[in-house]
Amino acid sequence: MITNEELLNNAKDASQKAYSKYSDFQVGACALYESGHVYSGCNVENSSYGLALCAERNAMSNAIANGETSKIIKIAIFSPKTSLCFPCGACRQWIQEFAKGYNTEIILEDNSGEIKIFYINDLLPHSFELI
Binding-site member from 16, 36, 46, 88 for ligand THU (CB under 6 A):
88
Residue among 6, 37, 45, 115 that touches ligand THU (CB under 6 A): 45
Tell me the window of 6-14, 61-69, 86-94, 110-118 that interacts with ligand THU (CB under 6 A).
86-94
Active site residue 56: yes
What is the gyration radius of the CA atoms in the chain, in angstroms? 14
| Residue 70 near residue 50, CB atoms below 8 Å | no
Q: Helix, strand, or coil here: 38?
A: strand
- Using DSSP's 3-state secondary structure scheme, residue 45 falls into coil
**CA–CA–CA angle 86, 65, 52 (5° rounding):** 45
CB of 112 to ligand THU, least distance (A): 21
Residues that bind ligand THU (CB under 6 A): 20, 23, 25, 27, 43, 45, 52, 54-56, 87-88, 91
